[in-house]
Copies of this chain bind each other. A is one copy, B any other.
């Protein structure tokens, strides 16, 4: 294998696929990026066996020659190191030459790097799934769906299914749900076209990586599904993840429909207050914030026997319903407020020990938080 390539384009592609690399893989070969070179272009593959990312770089882009192929072939090159070398290369082009499947020379300007490689034949065969009828979503919309729900996935592995996001399609409506059983995020998205019903759970970690990858890539994403794999296909780029096994808990009845009290706040102002009040929870054990709702004001407070306490008075923009005293994890509210987009936010309560929801005028997104019993 021997080729020369415009370094800027090579780096971008390596940056993309390297998101799949993990330092903790039990298979050393999976620390490599697989390079398959033909006269048509380069296929790059990286995988940690849960996530696989594949990118194609065509030889020509808009009639401009990107790659100069001297000898077709395949290789497996240490991924992180290759990325660092390319980043520090002070030349427009870099040249890669494979020597007996064991060494790669990377040449540019006055430098030659010689990196030890593992045999590309050891690289596992990773099947890419495909289907005739992919689900099509806009990348910006998918990014929003992930961003607004992923905050509620479980970080502990005690119930593995809760570390994923549940994607359920029913009657052409997509319900995305994440919950760690203390809070829940639900995002609803209506398809314009006919979609087969599905009910799958995608690992939160995979979706976080996917979100970073698509953030800056506008366009259409084709979603393919198999038994245990989901694949997101963009221009020359494929992101594939294993699905989580198991049945996601039924959550639809958790979200209350009727409310005894609704408070309206300026979202940024409330973020500042909750953030400030949370100062006392950082070093202490407790993270329980209290809302005491009076006729003319709401008192937000947090107390830590060790450190002290903080009390802040706020005048809601709107208030409707009966008075209430409720306590809950300040971090949950902060997370929910931060991923919402509107200036105005509504907090809707049903009772002291009943879940409450945080909403904006965007009806598609619901954040639910379970309170804790306070004295």
Q: Closest Cβ of chain B: how far from A300's Cβ, in Å?
A: 9
Contact status B78-A307, CB under 8 Å? yes
Judge whether A116 and B306 touch: CB under 8 Å: yes
Interface flag for A225 (CB, 8 Å): no
Which one, B81, B114, B283, contacts A279 given CB within 8 A? B81
**Quick check: is A112 within 8 A (CB to CB) of the other chain?**
yes
Asked if A353 is at the interface (CB within 8 A of a chain B CB), the reply is: no
A60 / chain B contacts, CB cutoff of 8 Å: none
> How many angstroms from the CA of A90 to the CA of B111 in the assembled complex?
54
B111 touches A283 (CB 8 A): no
Evaluate contact between A112 and B283: CB separation under 8 angstroms: no
**A313 near B: Cβ within 8 Å?**
yes
If A81-B279, A90-B272 touch, whether A111 touches B308 (CB-CB below 8 Å) is: no
Select A310's contact among B113, B306, B307, B312, beta carbons within 8 Å. Answer: B113
A residues 76-91 touching B (CB-CB < 8 Å):
78, 81, 84-85, 88-90
Residue contact B279 to A84, C-beta cutoff 8 Å: yes
Chain B residues positioned under 8 Å from A116 (CB to CB): 306-308
Q: Is the CB of A361 closer than 8 A to any CB of chain B? A: no
Contact B275–A112 (Cβ < 8 Å): no
Q: Does A115 contact B (CB under 8 A)?
A: yes
B88 contacts A310, C-beta separation under 8 Å: no
A128 at interface by CB-CB < 8 Å:
no
- Taking the complex as formed, is A276 at the interface, i.e. its CB lies under 8 A from any CB of chain B? yes
| Chain A to chain B contacts (Cβ below 8 Å), 30 pairs | A78-B307, A81-B279, A81-B283, A81-B307, A84-B282, A88-B272, A88-B275, A88-B276, A89-B276, A90-B272, A90-B276, A110-B312, A110-B314, A111-B273, A111-B310, A111-B311, A111-B313, A112-B310, A112-B311, A112-B312, A113-B280, A113-B308, A113-B309, A113-B310, A114-B310, A114-B311, A115-B307, A115-B308, A116-B306, A116-B308
